[in-house]
Chain A
Amino acid sequence: MSAIAGRGVEAALAAGAGEAEAFASRDSGREVRVHGGEVESLTAATQGGVGIRAWIGDRVGYAYGTDLSEGGVGAIAARAAEAAAIADEDAAATPPAPAAIEALPGLSDPSVAAWTTARAAELALSVERTALAAERRVVGVEQVVYADSAERVAIASSAGVAGEYESSDCFAYLQALAEGDEGRETGLGFGLARGPEDLDPEAIGREGASRAIAMIGASKPASRSCPVLLDQTVAASFAGLIGGALGANAVQRGRSPFAERLGEEVASGALVLHDDGRDPAGSASAPFDGEGVPRRRTALIEGGRLRAFLHDTYTANREGVESTGNAVRTGYRSQPRVATSNLIVGSGTASFEELLAAAGDGVFVTDVAGLHSGVNPVTGVFSVGASGRAIRAGELAEPLREFTIAGDLVAMLGSVRAAGAEPRWVPFGGSVRTPPVLIGAMAVSGS
């Protein structure tokens, strides 16, 4: 991989670039889909490619492709140089300087390679069996998906950046169907790990079943403003939105509700938020980011104050600060841009029961829908569909559906009353580790 990246850099320089960077990756993966006790599909995949950034003066362009032959890489490099010629000059667009990269063990799990596909299929089938056996009202499973992949990534640049690492990932999830008097309910169960050895198929199946059953007989809540307890999956989705708004690119361009608020009080003291690109348990962890800058941990919100924004080299240059190692790529097809790595919401001391008691009378939200359309990332104003359970006298009561929760992200942070004691890794909103979070008051709109 490093050799391909090195060739990409040389080819771009030969094509007229003053500076160049190449990011190469190759991964192999598989996916198993299971339905009704049978394997519905088995996918085996290998893919690889290179993405090249070429700088000509203060202009930068990007090109990528899958042809890794010498001629192919040369053609990609030439297209990167052509792309640079179209861009306008931007003095902040410079390649990152090389920095010492500390190795990060634990990203790759040998069980991904060791498990046969038949064994992976058996894991997916046992997720389905567990869900179906959990309760008679579970009438089916829409699908169980198991997927894993092993990836090798390398980066090289004319400035001297050089790095390579391997990582693996796997996950399984299902959508269980439960039948009530008024129709079907769905429930999601999921698990993620570095390798299949660390997945618990029974826990995944049980979660899907219990979430679906819990929704049977759901009705709309009355519209009001009340305490709202977010479960970990929902808290993670909101943390992801907040993390996105803390990216310096949005902030510098006046497209974030946190713009010009560095150092100010933006949250209640109960909410602590970090970005950690090196936590080995986090699926987004790596020794370096998408442009070869070492990953690190960054305190974003502490003591209620906004401590930092997330930077890549470009946004850091614009302010004369250091990159926080948050240049993210979704593979060789994407140019690096500022984004969160793993978001860590600080855990508190309250048990789930204590959170319910503190809420008193309110709503426990277990699912949100429409996040991509119901949130304005520029203003932070949101209104999203939700479902969950009523909280009465500090205890879980009847299921609720077809309501919205609305507000704005900054006001919501200020209204956080407590973070629970039980965190979980969630693949929504990026890669997030969060406990349940109790919000003092939010607008709930139902009947």
Chain B
Amino acid sequence: MSELLEPAVAERVLARALANGGRFAEVFAERRHGLSTSIDESRIEAVQSGAEEGAGVRVVDGATTYFAHVDGLDPADLERAAGEAAAAVRGERREPRALEAVAPTPLPIERRPEEVPAERKAALLRELDERARTQGGEIVQFTSSYAEARRQVTVANSEGLLSGDDRTRVRIGAQAVARRGDAVETGAETLGGHRGFELLEDDPGAIAEQAARKALTLLDAGPAPSGSMPVVVGGGFGGVLFHEMTGHGLEADHIQKGASVYVGKLGEPVAQPLLNAYDDGRLPGEWGSDAIDDEGAPTQKTQVIEEGRLSAYLYDRLTAERDGVAPTGNGRRESFRHLPIPRMTNTYIAPGEATPEAMIAELERGFYAVSFAGGQVDPATGDFVFGVSEGYLIEAGRVTRPCRGATLIGNCLEALMAIDAVGDDFFMKTGICGKGGQKAPVGTGQGHVRVGAMTVGGTEV
């Protein structure tokens, strides 16, 4: 990590940042490399290779954060950025503490993707293409993408912290289009992790098959029902429901601005006692994991709901300071061009005792949302919406027919309280979360979960 930022340079930058005062200064340096490509119409295309480096310097004075960032890691540019960040601060010069380096162990990478020949990556995409197209002649289009990225980061601050991380992520995605007459349907699946090429050693082609199967299944779909009914949500990416519904409302910046329905609810029951949920930035190999957050705080496992009661908020450095608590390792930023904000890492509902079969069998009529295209919440009002990418009607205790174009909508306080069964079939999936104009890799997970009543918005009215 000293490769990115020599301690002596970091100390000079921090001293410059506090030249006009301020209670805290930090420099965050980053080098990122990436390669991505895709296959479309059975042709490898969009091959793209990126390399960027740069640094962001911030000074905190009173309630205000001053931030400047530059491309490149030339020490003179970094000092200039520090000067720019400090320009509007008015006070007495402060001296940063001497840096003490800590060396957290990055997540292990067995097979560095940049050392795998490019032909192997192209061959992988061809394999996925072949797998999807052999699912049936009704698969008329298939695209698949491969992306690898390495982010080396070093963070130093005026309280003497000097730390770093080396993060490698690999992700593949598959999207299939099926056609029968005028009916056109799509199916998508992804696989990703904070891991190297070893992620793809098992059976990466399975996602192509799953995407194709979803699209083919939906060819038989009818319109989605409308109205309020019980909803069984699938495992894995079904956890995006909890991520949106509750996770965002627990991020301390929303709480401190009064822009969350969870303000003042610590210790209060917000769900049935059967519900336990966590944010865990240390899950081995998971997409949302890192050794440290982007402020140098070690990532951790935080229980956010304990037997139905709200037990913690998620903090970055500044929000933790404001509440007089320890940071929870949730200070994340998209890149050196962004300020850290409280963000989820891997958020999940812990496994329960129910089985998916029993949850469905108990319902006279309901909706089965196997997976989502994504979702969105307004943390201040708690209103949320989710697009269902694979959904079925439940009638007389059985899954009867697939439905197209369904959306789930509701308010998170009511919907979370209405979860009346949590499944034992737990697994994690990957997502890209957007907040305040910044993207972050996040993990979502759960077993099947049943919500007693939710509004399904379909075209059948």
Contact = CB atoms under 8 A, between A and B. Distances in A.
B177 A378 contact: yes
B44 to A, nearest CB: 5
Interface in A26-72: 35-36, 38-49, 60-67
A86 B46 CA distance: 10
B70 A186 contact: no
A40 B382 CA distance: 24
A29 B424 CA distance: 50
Contacts of A374: 373, 385-387, 407
A86 B385 contact: no
A83 B383 contact: no
Given A254-B177, A403-B457, A48 B387 contact: no
Given A35-B257, A80-B49, A385-B457, A370 B387 contact: yes
Contacts of A378: 177, 184, 186
A175 B46 CA distance: 38
Contacts of B258: 139-140, 177, 184
B374 interface: yes
A86 B48 contact: no
Contacts of A225: 461
Interface in B341-386: 372-376, 378, 380-386
Contacts of A88: 43-45
Interface stretch (A150-158, A357-365, A439-447): A439-447
Given A88-B43, A88-B44, A255-B177, A383 B457 contact: yes
Contact of A41 (B43, B339, B404, B458): B339
B71 A379 contact: no
Contact of B376 (A39, A86, A369): A369
Contact of A143 (B35, B54, B121, B257): B257
B380 A186 contact: yes
Nearest to A383: B407
B457 A63 contact: no
B49 A183 contact: no
Contacts of B325: none
B50 A86 contact: no
B410 to A, nearest CB: 7
A223 B227 contact: yes
Interface residues of A, number: 83
Nearest to B122: A86
Contacts of B53: 66-67
A434 interface: no
B404 A381 contact: yes
Please indicate which of the listed interface residues A61, A64, A387, A445 has the most CB atoms of chain B within 10 Å of its own CB. Answer: A445
Contacts of A62: 46-49
Given A40-B63, A142-B259, A385 B407 contact: yes
Nearest to B118: A86
Interface in B32-68: 35, 37, 40-41, 43-54, 62-68
A373 B373 contact: yes
B411 interface: yes
Please indicate which of the listed interface residues B50, B64, B186 has the most CB atoms of chain A within 10 Å of its own CB. Answer: B50
Contacts of A308: none
A83 B68 contact: no
B66 to A, nearest CB: 5
A63 B64 contact: no
Nearest to A226: B461
A335 interface: yes
B185 interface: yes
Interface string B442-461: 00000000000001111111
B376 A373 contact: yes
B386 A373 contact: yes
B108 to A, nearest CB: 27
Given A47-B337, A404-B409, A42 B88 contact: yes
Contacts of B405: 376, 381-383, 406
A339 to B, nearest CB: 14
B64 A40 contact: yes
Nearest to A141: B257
Main secondary structure, interface of A, reads: strand
A384 B43 CA distance: 34
Given A64-B50, A66-B53, A143-B257, A87 B387 contact: no
B138 interface: no
B45 A90 contact: yes
Given A38-B64, A402-B410, A446 B455 contact: yes
Interface string A311-344: 0000000000000000000000101000000000
B261 interface: yes
A369 B140 CA distance: 31
Contacts of A382: 405
B375 A379 contact: no
B144 to A, nearest CB: 13
B66 A41 contact: yes
B257 A140 contact: yes
A379 B184 contact: yes
B331 to A, nearest CB: 14
A63 B374 contact: no
Given A61-B47, A62-B47, A183 B339 contact: no
A381 B85 CA distance: 48
A387 B383 contact: yes
Nearest to B87: A44
B41 A253 contact: yes
A70 to B, nearest CB: 14
A369 B461 contact: no
A258 to B, nearest CB: 12
Contacts of A266: none
Contacts of B65: 40-42
A402 B409 contact: yes
Nearest to B47: A83
Nearest to B215: A378
Contact of B48 (A83, A407, A445): A83
Given A177-B259, A382-B405, A76 B51 contact: yes
Contacts of A405: 457
21 contacts: A38-B63, A41-B66, A41-B67, A44-B67, A60-B45, A62-B48, A65-B52, A76-B51, A83-B37, A140-B259, A175-B259, A224-B461, A369-B376, A370-B386, A375-B387, A376-B405, A381-B405, A382-B405, A406-B405, A406-B407, A445-B461
Given A45-B68, A253-B41, A374-B386, 20 more contacts: A40-B65, A62-B46, A62-B49, A64-B49, A75-B51, A86-B119, A185-B380, A220-B455, A224-B461, A372-B374, A373-B376, A379-B184, A382-B405, A384-B407, A402-B455, A405-B457, A406-B458, A445-B457, A445-B458, A447-B227
Interface of A: 35-36, 38-49, 60-67, 75-76, 79-80, 82-88, 90, 93, 117-118, 139-140, 142-143, 175, 177, 183-186, 220, 223-225, 253-255, 333, 335, 369-370, 372-376, 378-379, 381-385, 387, 401-407, 443-447
Report, nearest first, the 10 A-B pairs whose CB atoms are least far apart. Answer: A404-B457, A385-B385, A373-B374, A373-B387, A370-B385, A374-B387, A445-B457, A383-B407, A373-B373, A445-B226
Interface of B: 35, 37, 40-41, 43-54, 62-72, 84-85, 88, 118-119, 121-122, 140-141, 177, 179, 184-186, 224, 226-228, 257-259, 261, 337, 339, 372-376, 378, 380-387, 389, 404-407, 409-411, 455-461
